Amino acid sequence: MKKPSLQEFDITAEQYSQYQLYKTKIENREIGREEFGHRFYETFISVIAIIFILLLLIVARVVLLNTATSMIGSGKYVGLFLFILVILILSALLFFVVKMFVAKPFRPKLKQLKIYRPFKKLYIKFQPSIHRELYFDNAKRYELQNEAYYNYIGDLQRRFPGIIEFNYNLQSYLKKIIDEIVSYEHIETNNSIINKQLENRRAVWLKMDGVTFEREVASIYREHGYEAKTTKATGEGGVDIRLWKDGQYSIAQCKNVRHQIDAPAVRKLLETANNEKASKAILICSAGYTPKAKEFAKWKSIELLDLNQFLMLVNNIYPLEYQLVDAIVDTSVTNSNTTYNFKVIGKTEILYSSHTHLEDTNYCLFETLGDAKKTIRRLQRIDKMPLASEASYNVEEWWLESIPRGYYRKPLYYIKVSEKELKTTANKRKEKEKRDGQRKIWTTEQYVQKSMWENE
């Protein structure tokens, strides 16, 4: 099961945040409506208690007024203040007593009458409306799909706690790759892979026709933050691509040819840039430039790029080499009675053919016993684990997945792990533990290396 993304549901993070705010407002409004009856009866009982106290004060008004007048006449203002304070305290206590012990028993009978309904209708009618956007439907579908995904992950956690814990812990280490922990042979292998892929990448660009070449060049500049627009197939005065970035306007000309460009072609493009009032001109030629052309371009607002120089821009966006990690991480995962130990080295990006086919993959380094070679293996994603409906489950087949054909263009080795239990006879000091049903089992791992294409 794949983790859903906001892009799949055509919403942005800001829109999803607005949906969450809208959802909170709706929930608070529903809670307020559900609690209206309780608040209404609380207010109703409080009003009854206040009316009861007011009636008592009205009945006793003559005595209270005479007492207050007598104190004022004799100048006992402190006594008058204390008298009023006592009256207020007694009123508060009386209010509490009436509300809790006199009016409260009538609450069930009042609820049966349901006299709050017309007041609730008025309350709902005068509530302000909550604005609802059209994209909230997409946000709700994303939320439901996301909830289903995490329910699925939770089920995996219950079924395979060791594997899931390992996979989650692994994510915090997958930042860069450490070349030091890879043997010299694998470093050389990696370099040869990179060089081969660079050759393949160069060959792909050389095979492009003129229109495709211009379009792909424009896409690379867009990845570098430019606004790029290609011109018509025939070009516009030698301009193939118009570029804008940071308020600067530039023009570019693309030539996927087999001969080097001479100085006159460079001079002509520079004149076009001046006529276009461009701040810079860029000339990209797969075959390169003559010494005179390079000399002419010096100290002028024109940039000459051969294919190798341009591919450096491509490689900055779509790297082929390993990314270094901060530290070596030892980790393990346990299945049955066997523990598999390995080192995490991070992730790398491997190019298949052109810059549009890229795979972002997690890797770990396995170390075998004795003089056996170290092996780089690809890790499966957590959401590609076997479904709950599958009867069989093999941990080796999951996290020791075989590399696809042609992935490195040369045979690599993978580690096949098998379990083997070694039991020992308990010595005399352990006889008591043995009688109690306790036994000690030593487990070991047998590593077998096979070529990945050996059986194909």
Nearest in space to 23 (alpha carbons), one of 147, 124, 150, 143: 143
In 3D space, the residue among 424, 430, 425 whose CA is nearest the CA of residue 442 turns out to be 424
In angstroms, the CA 375 to CA 408 distance is 13
Q: How far apart are CA 137 and CA 78, in angstroms?
A: 69
- Contact residues for 58 (Cβ-Cβ < 8 A; gap 6+): none
CA distances from 34 to 27, 107, 132 (A): 11, 17, 22
Domain 201-317, architecture per CATH: 3-Layer(aba) Sandwich (3.40)
Q: Quote the pLDDT of residue 160.
A: 52
Angstrom CA distances, 215 to 31, 98, 253, 313, stand at 57, 85, 12, 15
Identify whether the C-beta of residue 450 lies closer than 8 Å to the C-beta of residue 413.
yes
With beta carbons less than 8 A apart as the criterion, state whether 305 and 283 touch: yes
Radius of gyration of the chain from Cα atoms? Answer: 40
pLDDT of residue 172: 37
Q: Which residues of 103-137 are buried (b: 16+ CB within 10 A; e: fewer)?
A: beeeeeebeeeeebeeeeeeeeeeeeeeeeeebbe
pLDDT 10s digit of each residue in the chain, 456 long? 567 788 888 888 888 888 889 888 888 888 888 888 778 877 877 787 788 888 888 888 888 888 888 888 777 778 888 888 888 888 888 777 777 776 667 667 766 777 778 888 888 888 888 888 888 888 888 888 888 877 766 665 565 554 444 444 433 333 333 333 334 444 555 555 556 666 777 788 888 888 888 988 998 898 888 999 988 766 566 889 999 998 899 999 999 888 999 999 999 999 999 998 999 999 999 989 999 999 999 888 899 999 888 887 876 665 544 333 333 344 444 444 444 444 443 333 332 223 333 333 344 443 333 333 333 344 333 334 444 444 344 433 443 343 333 332 222 222 222 222 222 333 444 555 544 543 333 222 322 223 332 333
The ranges assigned to domains in the chain are 6-145, 201-317, 329-425
Dist CA 131 CA 133 (whole Å):
7
How many residues comprise the chain? 456
DSSP per-residue string spanning 391-440:
S---HHHHHTPPPPTTSSSS--EEEEEEEEEEE----GGGHHHHHTT---
CA-to-CA distance for 242 and 250, rounded, in angstroms?
6
Q: Model pTM?
A: 0.34
Token reading at 254: 């693309």
